[in-house]
Structure 1
Amino acid sequence: MSKTTKISMFKAGLIGSALMASLLSAPSFAQQTRWISDVLYVPMRKGPSNQHTILHRGLKSGTRLSIIEAQENWSQVRLADGSTGWIPNQYLLEEPIAALKLEDAAQKAQRSSNRYQEAADKLKQLSAENESLKKQLSNSEQGSSALSSELNQIKQISANAIDLNNNYQQLAKDHQLLQTELDVARAENERLKKEDSQTWFVYGAGAVLLGVIITLIVPAIRPRRRRSEWG
């Protein structure tokens, strides 16, 4: 019996066993539809033939293996626990089985769903923050408008204060000028008073002197009576 025939018989036995188990477990009515599971258990042998000792009686389909050496019909593999052995190449696939792909797709879909939910929650949070920032911006704009109004008032007050200061400076200059003119007028008045006093003094002195002169001159020029007239 050839190796290929033995392998075919082994596969047929496995399929038959699975079919028998399915039939035995099925209910008595035959109108329900069932499918045979694609789960397969592959033995791992010590060497690259069916005559070698079986090291592992059932490697479940979908088990991940590492290829150590590949021959025409057999490959030496290493399991996750480090054990090694030989398995027929017909049971080795370059891609995971459909069940694993489906499970992987389901996990990816779940991760995508989780990321979508996280993104939705983040979007909701950002929307709430955006609304809060809009309110803060509105309040800031109102506050800015009020500050701008106060600033304009302060500028107006400052302009008025500058005008008042300029007016004060001008008034101070005018006051100083008037004070100077007043001092000059007072000095001139004092000078005139002194001159007037001196003039009246001169006039008085002249009048006194004139009186003295008259007193001295008048008796001298009065005609004397003759003595005969007196006798």
Structure 2
Amino acid sequence: MDNSLTRDTNPLSVNAYNKTTLTFLSIKFEGRPDPPKDFANGVTDTSITVEWKEGFDGGYEQTFYIKVNKKKEKKVDSKCKIGNIWSYTCQGLEPGTKYNIEITAKNCKGSSKPCHLKYRTEGKPDPPTKFRIAKHGITDKSIMVEWEPGYDGGLSQTFFVFYKGIEHEVRSSPTNGSPYSFKCENLKPRSTYTIVLYAKNIKGNADSCILKDCKTKEFTSLCGKCKTRPMLSTFVFPGLNRCGFTMVISG
């Protein structure tokens, strides 16, 4: 066998056979361990639990080291291993914060390539984005607004729209990739409104998004010709009062 082969060489394939049987063998050389694999996680507002499976140990006993946000690495105790699953919990973290976690396997021959993982602890949601008036969303008595959701904080979030001094929960969800939307109704023609939007989950409220100077259109009749509401005139014809006959003329 070629003595120049090293641990960094790809696994060697060997074919062994006789007159009736062909057997395929794959050989790995001793050396540095392979990186860990098959990661899973569990996240709370102050902790991140990471689970993984060990790769090939290089033919030697291996240990694992974990590093959070480039701080000093910590050795993972062998008690954290159940079967071939390793687990480690990073505690004392800040809510709603992004963390970079690095896991490396080591043995007497060296270290594996580090595995870089990114997580975010649970927390308040991020503010919605692209809060705007919908295209063709303004009439004389309503304004349709729409937005894209921000990060939900790792939890279920709800949106609320506030206008005319009243808070309204957004109960409908978009479909087919459409943005969230809400119709502000019962408004007055040619009037200006401020519309406020915010997201909320069990950890708290996101910062509000505000649309100022949202103005409704002038009133337009069904015929589309007049821009003011019709005045109703009432005439009572003499001599017909006994019958209560009244004619109403739209002027």
TM range, smaller chain: under 0.3
Q: What TM-score results when the alignment is normalised by the length of structure 2?
A: 0.18
- Length-normalised TM-score, structure 1: 0.20
Greater relative CO, 1 or 2 (CA 8 Å, sep 6+): 2
When Rg is computed on C-alpha atoms for both structures, the one with the higher figure is 1
More strand by percentage: 2
